[in-house]
Amino acid sequence: MTTIKTQAAGLAAAADERRLDLLGRIAEAGGKVTPNANPQAQHGYEHLAPCDGDEGDLLLLARRDYLEQRFFDRVSLCPKCGSHHLNVREICPGCRGAHLANEGLLHHFRCGYVGRQSEFATAGDGDGSRVCPKCNRRLHHVGTEYDRLGKVFVCLECGVITENPPVEAACLACGARNLAEDLVSTDVFSYVLTSLGFAAVRRGSLLDTDDELLFVSGAPVYRSTVILEFLNQEVKRIHHFKNGFSVLLAKCAREATDNRDGALLPPWLPRLRQCLREVDLIGQLADAVFVVILPQTDKRAAEVLRQRVLAEIGPQLQLTLSAIEITEPRHLAQVLAHRSGLSEPR
């Protein structure tokens, strides 16, 4: 039993060393790693140097907030085998074949006939005029005698004409054919080193759970995963108690100073903490985005607090502070959008 525990501890230590080395290489590369296209990779992308190795390490480090995931691309996959090697094309709604031609439509004003351009034969006299297949009159001038109405798809196998043919994806790996709307997808991410990741690199070790909590004025600043759980719990209380809450969102420039735990924190954070109640919680949504949960607080009270914080901090720092009231679950999406940089605080 002791031997097994020793082996397990050795494997865990080796894994931590590998992940710490990965963080160090990302730091040396500028703090960010972006996927590179590779048709042979599992989903068409891979993280090359400085991130050669297990993609699982990137995911684990992101879950522990050493790295921040940022959306990079979405890849469509075959729902049968998961391959990204797909041939996407329009198909005939009748015979389901892909032998389609794209043709323009013509409209003869005088007789009202609408048909494919190939039906309006050229007159053969060299002046470029066409002949209406319905009334056999010559058409010389676009806009006065006839007009162009866009294009249609014509199946060269069965003759079916359609303006909006269905789109199908044929999997080149397993041969399955699926409508484009039935494909599954997966998101591909780039990864950015967080303040916690920089702290681990400087210390030369991954931080213990207790060390991962940062403290300002004696109160904790929670990691992203933890503060998100607190947010979700507050939203659940709305359903039961019919009472909302508010949040303050603070977005700052990335100038920051070291605190005693070696992690990066902005210099205005202690003054923000001093303006809050004991029940208010601070968390780091992203490297330059902080959120304060204000339980039992409406928008008016949150706005008063926002003004007080700005007055306390002063205008000299690059800080954008906004107040958001959350009275139903969908309002949480507005907060989470700031985590991925989809919107700016107001």
Give the domain CATH number at 247.
3.30.70.270
- CB count within 10 Å of CB 33 equals 22
**CA–CA distance, 213 with 283 (Å, rounded to integer):** 10
Burial of 331 (0-12, 13-18, 19+ CB in 10 A): middle
Interhelix angle 224-241/332-339, rounded to 10 degrees, is 170
Split at pLDDT 50, 70, 90, the class of 232 is: confident
In a domain, 36, yes or no: yes
In a domain, 197, yes or no: no
What residues are paired with 245 via a beta bridge?
A: 326
> Helices in 1-160 by DSSP H: which ranges?
2-28, 55-63
Nearest CA among 311, 216, 340, 324 for reference residue 266: 216
Q: Which two structure tokens, joined as six digits, stand for 141?
A: 């001038």
DSSP single-letter state for residue 111: T
Q: In angstroms, how far is CA 166 from the centroid of its own chain?
A: 27
Amino acid making up residue 135 = C
Whether 31 and 128 map to the same domain: the answer is: no
Of 125 and 34, which is predicted with more confidence?
34
Residue 346 has pLDDT above 50, yes or no: no
Q: Which two structure tokens, joined as six digits, stand for 26?
A: 């990302």
Q: Which segment, 184-193, 208-217, 237-246, is predicted with the most confidence on average?
A: 184-193
Residue 10 has pLDDT above 90, yes or no: no
Lowest-pLDDT choice from 39-48, 62-71, 120-129, 288-297: 120-129
**CA–CA distance, 343 with 346 (Å, rounded to integer):** 9
Of 339 and 235, which is predicted with more confidence?
235
In a domain, 176, yes or no: no
Of 149 and 80, which is predicted with more confidence?
80
Phi, psi values for residue 28, rounded to 5°: -65, -25
Residue 257 has pLDDT above 50, yes or no: no
In a domain, 172, yes or no: no
> Helices in 206-298 by DSSP H: which ranges?
224-241, 269-274
Number of domains in the chain: 3
Averaged pLDDT for residues 26-38: 90
Of 130, 165, 200, the one marking the end of a domain is 165
Residue 132 has pLDDT above 70, yes or no: yes
DSSP single-letter state for residue 161: E
In a domain, 178, yes or no: no
In the prediction, which pLDDT does 259 show? 44
**Tens-digit pLDDT profile for residues 302-343:** 999 999 988 888 765 678 888 999 888 777 877 777 665 444
Whether 226 and 319 map to the same domain: the answer is: yes
Averaged pLDDT for residues 179-202: 89
Half-sphere exposure of 96 (CA within 13 A, CB side): 6
In the prediction, which pLDDT does 89 show? 94
**CA–CA distance, 45 with 34 (Å, rounded to integer):** 10
Averaged pLDDT for residues 287-297: 88
In the prediction, which pLDDT does 263 show? 47
In the prediction, which pLDDT does 330 show? 79
Split at pLDDT 50, 70, 90, the class of 208 is: low
Residue 92 has pLDDT above 90, yes or no: yes
Domain coverage including residue 270: 213-339
**pLDDT exceeding 70 applies to what percent of the chain?**
83
Q: Helix count (H) and strand count (E) of the chain?
A: 7, 22
Cα torsion at 250, 252, 256, 260 (round to 10°)? 10
Q: Are strands 100-108 and 289-294 parallel, antiparallel or unpaired?
A: unpaired
**CA–CA distance, 37 with 217 (Å, rounded to integer):** 46
Of 72, 105, 130, the one marking the end of a domain is 72
Q: Find out whether 194 and 102 touch, Cβ atoms under 8 Å.
A: no
Q: Tokens 């992690």 — which residue?
A: 263
Whether 64 and 102 map to the same domain: the answer is: no
In a domain, 194, yes or no: no
Phi, psi values for residue 170, rounded to 5°: -95, 125
Whether 138 and 240 map to the same domain: the answer is: no
Of 25, 44, 72, the one marking the end of a domain is 72
Whether 222 and 319 map to the same domain: the answer is: yes
Averaged pLDDT for residues 185-214: 79
Of 11 and 186, which is predicted with more confidence?
186
Lowest-pLDDT choice from 8-12, 54-58, 178-182, 295-299: 8-12
Q: Which segment, 47-51, 171-175, 205-209, is predicted with the most confidence on average?
A: 171-175
**CA–CA distance, 95 with 204 (Å, rounded to integer):** 64
Averaged pLDDT for residues 110-115: 86
In the prediction, which pLDDT does 258 show? 42
| Three-class DSSP category at 207 | coil
Average pLDDT over the chain reads: 82
Q: CA gyration radius for the chain? A: 30
